[in-house]
């Protein structure tokens, strides 16, 4: 506990950090707003479902709504606890997350396919509060690329220097990919392309936010 207090004391006494945090939060808020706009666009202009899909056509549909919704919520809570424990990761994690969601918004409006016809969204209880929150930001047509796959992998790249967190986030990424495929919530291309696109986003972020990235490697 004393070490945690000392880390925060050193971190927050740097006045430049406050400005970076404020700007990164503004960027994140803008990215979430634009993501919502992109989601609304895909809901209006989503085309029909696409077949065939080499993986979805060969596996049955499972009801994975608990892992998809509550699992993602638990994941975000754990992420908050992790950056509180390692405050030097806060600026780059927020800025990187903003760029991740901005990039995904752009891909969504360029590739607005409808969800696979067999998707387990048909099983979802819309009256559950936490699911209402999630459906504000995603309703099944925000497909390319998979956020449940890409975002944990993005965090694995950020926390790469901490092996236990690196493997934790990679496991979450593989788990997320498995969940969305078993639930037929994403096409195969949404999942497998996520790793390549996400790596590209990370490389861009570490070049744009050099000081914040250097802080994570200090």
Confidence at residue 162, expressed as pLDDT on a 0 to 100 scale? 94
From the number of C-beta atoms within 10 Å of its C-beta (0-12, 13-18, 19+), residue 183 rates as: buried
Long-range contacts from 191-195, C-beta under 8 angstroms, 24+ separation: 191/145, 191/146, 191/149, 193/144, 193/145, 194/145, 194/146, 194/147, 194/149, 194/150, 194/153, 195/149, 195/150, 195/153
In the prediction, which pLDDT does 166 show?
A: 96
What does the alpha-carbon distance between residue 186 and residue 63 come to, in Å, rounded to a whole number?
Answer: 14
* Per-residue model confidence (pLDDT) at position 115: 74
3-class DSSP assignment, residue 127:
coil
Please report, for the chain, how many H helices and E strands are present, in that order. 9, 0
pLDDT in tens, 146-193: 999 999 999 999 999 999 999 999 999 999 999 999 988 888 999 999
For 136, the domain range is 2-216
- The total number of structural domains in the chain stands at 1
Q: What is the mean pLDDT of the chain?
A: 85
Which of 14, 30, 205, 174 is closest to 100 using CA atoms? 205
Query: Cα(104)–Cα(87) distance, rounded to whole angstroms?
Result: 26
Burial of residue 5 (number of CB atoms within 10 Å: 0-12, 13-18, 19+): exposed
Residue with the bigger pLDDT between 68 and 90: it is 90
Residue 112: what pLDDT?
Answer: 72
Could you report the per-residue pLDDT of 191-217, keeping only the tens digit for each? 999 999 999 999 999 999 999 999 898
Of the pLDDT bands very low, low, confident and very high (cuts 50, 70, 90), residue 57 is: confident
Decide if pLDDT at 63 tops 80.
yes
Percent of the chain topping pLDDT 90: 50
pLDDT band at 92 (very low <50, low <70, confident <90, very high): very high
Residue 17 has pLDDT above 70, yes or no: yes
C-alpha to C-alpha distance for 17 and 88, rounded to whole angstroms: 9
């Amino acid at each position: 506990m004393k070490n945690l207090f000392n880390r925060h004391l050193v971190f927050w006494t740097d006045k430049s950090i406050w400005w970076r945090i404020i700007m990164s939060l503004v960027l994140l808020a803008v990215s979430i707003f634009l993501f919502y706009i992109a989601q609304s666009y895909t809901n209006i202009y989503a085309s029909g479902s696409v077949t065939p899909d080499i993986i979805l056509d060969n596996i049955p549909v499972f009801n994975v709504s608990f892992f998809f919704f509550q699992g993602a919520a638990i994941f975000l809570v754990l992420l908050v606890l992790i950056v509180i424990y390692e405050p030097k990761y806060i600026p780059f994690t927020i800025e990187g997350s903003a760029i991740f969601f901005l990039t995904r918004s752009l891909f969504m409006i360029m590739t607005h396919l409808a969800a696979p016809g067999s998707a387990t969204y048909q099983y979802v209880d819309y009256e559950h509060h936490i699911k209402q929150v999630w459906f504000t930001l995603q309703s099944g047509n925000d497909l390319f690329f998979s956020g449940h796959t890409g975002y944990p992998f993005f965090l694995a790249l950020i926390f790469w220097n901490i092996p236990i967190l690196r493997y934790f986030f990679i496991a979450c990424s593989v788990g997320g990919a498995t969940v969305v495929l078993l639930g037929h919530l994403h096409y195969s291309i949404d999942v497998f392309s996520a790793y390549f696109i996400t790596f590209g986003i990370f490389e861009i972020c570490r070049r744009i936010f050099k000081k914040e990235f250097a802080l994570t490697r200090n």
